[in-house]
Amino acid sequence: MAPRARTAPRKKPRQQRSQATVDAILDATARVLCSTGYDRASTNRIAMAAGVSVGSLYQYFPSKEALVAALVERHTASMTALVKSKLAEVATAPLAEACRTMIDAMFEAHAVDPRLHKVLIEQVPRVGRLEQVVSVEREVEALVALFLEARKSELRRSRLGATAFVLCNVVEAVTHAAVLAELEPKRAREVADELTDMVLRYLPADC
């Protein structure tokens, strides 16, 4: 493997004008990524789209990879926050309702910025820091495993680790597919229902 690029942010913005610059750069990164794809999204182009010089960009992001990593982080953070809070909300709800709510939450979370999400998933090489960022999924998986553990008596499952793994990936996959296919809302509802149905046949002890 080649030597890893620096990814730690070079400096922190201290004044509000520089914070605005950083935001503008990240926004521009998202736009350029969506419109040109990863390969053609050069730092010069991004800086120009942000109305900022390359120099400024490199004051806050030591490499292109770090820049994209920061964007991914910002994007996933907003998604994960939503999912986590919902998960906390349904901690004591009946199993069926909890599942329904969580699947809906996943659809919501993916609807935040679908175009950007698609580009990030499909085009951004998951190397270096980027792969760590994506591993937020692991965290969610662990939370789901805990959730299942707490409902142990209601479930037919015993290997809850494997169950959480399958569960998370299945829900993720279908949600992704639905978002990427840009289904109209009604059809998305159908898919969500279908998915919920599947999960509720899989999990509970009673059948």
The closest of 11, 12, 146, 129 to 90, measured between CA atoms, is 146
- Could you tell me the smallest distance in angstroms from the CB atom of residue 141 to a copy of itself? 10
Site for DNA contains 40 (CB under 7 A): yes
Query: Contact region for a copy of itself (CB under 8 A) — 6-14, 68-76, 102-110, 193-201?
Result: 193-201
- Could you tell me the smallest distance in angstroms from the CB atom of residue 42 to a copy of itself? 12
Residue type (1 letter), 54 = V
Find the binder of a copy of itself among 48, 90, 143, 166 (CB under 8 A): 166
Site for DNA contains 64 (CB under 7 A): yes
> CA separation (Å) from 142 to 53, 110, 146?
42, 20, 6
Q: How many chain residues touch a copy of itself (CB under 8 A)?
A: 39
Question: Which of DNA, a copy of itself, none binds 43 (CB below 5-8 Å, type-dependent)?
Answer: DNA
Within 142-161, the residues that bind DNA by CB under 7 A are: none
Find the binder of DNA among 1, 3, 14, 153 (CB under 7 A): 14
3-state secondary structure the chain: CCCCCCCCCCCCCCCHHHHHHHHHHHHHHHHHHHHHCCCCCCHHHHHHHHCCCHHHHHHHCCCHHHHHHHHHHHHHHHHHHHHHHHHHHHHHCCHHHHHHHHHHHHHHHHCCCHHHHHHHHHHCCCCCHHHHHHCHHHHHHHHHHHHHHHCHHHECCCCHHHHHHHHHHHHHHHHHHHHHCCCCHHHHHHHHHHHHHHHHHHCECCC
The nearer residue to a copy of itself, 13 or 62, going by C-beta atoms, is 62
Find the binder of DNA among 9, 27, 31, 62 (CB under 7 A): 62
Site for a copy of itself contains 149 (CB under 8 A): no
Interacting residues with a copy of itself (CB under 8 A): 1-2, 35-40, 122-123, 125-127, 131, 157, 159, 161-163, 165-166, 169-170, 172-174, 177-178, 187, 190-191, 193-195, 197-198, 201-202, 207
- Name the site residues for DNA (rule: CB under 7 A): 5, 11, 13-18, 20-21, 40-45, 51-56, 58-59, 62-65
